[in-house]
Structure 1
């Protein structure tokens, strides 16, 4: 099987469209269609169902996609291994939404400036999905809140590097009275990201302990949306302190610190490329540059007690 055909097949599968795949690859649509048809002829099986302009994977296509991810990842590793002193090619990075906003802008800019031949692709998702994508070769590395909920990972298959310690806060409506032990909350809903998010699980567990029953869940796609719902008095939310540090004027809500959680840089065991080493060093250098001196406060105490 030709690696180029596999790459085109994977792109069509991701985009679910020949038109969008052609635009992403910088090819004409007829060439993309021909390449997919060649692959189908070589394998003797249809890989897509054509539903209008949408391309939907067949069972055979789903099977091939897993192998294509692994084959193309190994090919990229091999190319990079031949140039151990040169970070080039492609590195697929996954991160939680909050990490991509608060932790990655400076390191990514530094890598881009120092290694212009290295392409960094960034994807955001909940922690459990990111780990699954690393294991299935859809991502090379990921920054996740450890451990992801509902995921049984064999330590022999993964490599872990602790990177950040995030302080987590429960956001409550401005009119909510102070939280005291044994007193139930005045809200029974929590606004969170979709299932698989470590912070979501922590928030649900905290509210269950406070109220004595599992909270209703409102799934949203961003922290501004979560905080807007909390401000409207409808629900609680869970937010990393680092997200509030990014805001010029944090909303005047009741903030309750609950726990710290480590963010891990995870890869497949044995994964070691110049691109990965450059990326990891950029993260570590930025962390050293932004860590407060010993004895200095790690965050502004007043932010944790913001009141209406």
Structure 2
């Protein structure tokens, strides 16, 4: 698909008509009209409804606009990457909700100060969603819990997390012989902490009687505090919860006490924007002062 045609099409949409688009593009109106018509002929579909001098996007036109904006942005990024080693442009980063809330504020603050020409955009989701978004080119890198598809991605270890079970203070100690939580509060399927909790139950040949799905860790901890059930969360998340002192923490067996968060990106392609974040996470571009209030020094 011709990028110049897409640029003309996108400009017509942005300017609201042929006349203003032609002026912005420094072209005659007939040329802009012809290029739009040629694009419609090539795609064999109308991109605009014509209402006199007004142009209104058709559903097909709206779909093409979304792709055109992505392709033009990618072309601009490719030019910048070839011409400069300095990070610049839009950096679309994906992260799990817990990582975005607790782990990312400090390194992203460092990143923003060191690379002011980069515009950071953050997308949250579970590892499955973020991996698919990365493969589709919707994001540039992602922070996800292991495991990852090593054939598709390059990666580094960004953070070590300790998943723990949290209950209200009056819940008895959790043991293999009994006293397992009967209600669990979890994220949707695809969440690595939910998967770890399900593995923990499976090892005990047991299942919770009730599962409640929520969309944020603080909401989950609030429900735990209210006595609605138990949850499995990264220990680092608990440190950011105002009522943490009213929670009871139960550690998992030793072989389940570690869950690494990885920074992943497309195999064989690490653009300057991603490389800059990689250096920060590995400690190369910031002082080694990171401290996890709940867990002591974090391991990078």
- Same fold at TM > 0.5: yes
In 2, the alpha carbon distance for the partners of 1:262 and 1:170 equals 17
Q: Does 1:181 align with 2:176?
A: yes
Residue 175 to residue 288, structure 1, CA distance change in 2 (3 Å) = same
Q: Is the 8 A contact 1:80 1:273 kept in 2?
A: no
What do residues 192-223 of structure 1 show as CA deviations (whole Å, max 9, x unaligned)? 11121111111122234446135532111111
SS in 1 for 2:288: helix
Q: Which residue of 2 aligns with 1:265?
A: 263
Alignment of 1:173-252 (within 5 A): 173-187=168-182, 189-210=183-204, 212-213=206-207, 216-252=210-246
What do residues 3-28 of structure 1 show as CA deviations (whole Å, max 9, x unaligned)? 58869999xxxxxxxxxxx9xxxx56
Q: Is the 8 A contact 1:112 1:118 kept in 2?
A: yes
Q: Which has the larger radius of gyration?
A: 2
What do residues 50-97 of structure 1 show as CA deviations (whole Å, max 9, x unaligned)? xxxxx9977x959x978985x457524412322333211111100011
Residue 214 to residue 185, structure 1, CA distance change in 2 (3 Å) = closer
Deviation at 1:145, TM superposition (A): 0.6
SS in 2 for 1:290: coil
In 2, the alpha carbon distance for the partners of 1:198 and 1:159 equals 19
In 2, the alpha carbon distance for the partners of 1:57 and 1:215 equals 46
Q: Which residue of 2 aligns with 1:15?
A: none
SS in 2 for 1:142: strand
Deviation at 1:115, TM superposition (A): 1.6
In 2, the alpha carbon distance for the partners of 1:7 and 1:236 equals 53
Q: Which residue of 1 aligns with 2:86?
A: 86
Q: Under a length normalisation based on structure 1, what TM-score does the superposition of the two structures give?
A: 0.71
Q: Which residue of 2 aligns with 1:159?
A: 154
What do residues 97-137 of structure 1 show as CA deviations (whole Å, max 9, x unaligned)? 11112111122112212221111111111111111111111
Residue 7 to residue 168, structure 1, CA distance change in 2 (3 Å) = farther
Residue 184 to residue 92, structure 1, CA distance change in 2 (3 Å) = same
SS in 1 for 2:154: strand
Deviation at 1:162, TM superposition (A): 1.1
Deviates more, 1:84-93 or 1:134-143: 84-93
Structure 1 residue ranges, 4+ long, deviating more than 6 angstroms after superposition? 4-10, 28-31, 55-58, 64-68
In 2, the alpha carbon distance for the partners of 1:275 and 1:160 equals 15
Residue 276 to residue 72, structure 1, CA distance change in 2 (3 Å) = farther
In 2, the alpha carbon distance for the partners of 1:94 and 1:8 equals 31
Q: Which residue of 1 aligns with 2:112?
A: 112
Residue 96 to residue 3, structure 1, CA distance change in 2 (3 Å) = farther
Alpha carbon RMSD of aligned pairs, Å?
A: 3.8
**Unaligned runs of at least 5 residues, structure 1:** 11-21, 49-54, 301-308
**Unaligned runs of at least 5 residues, structure 2:** 22-31, 49-56
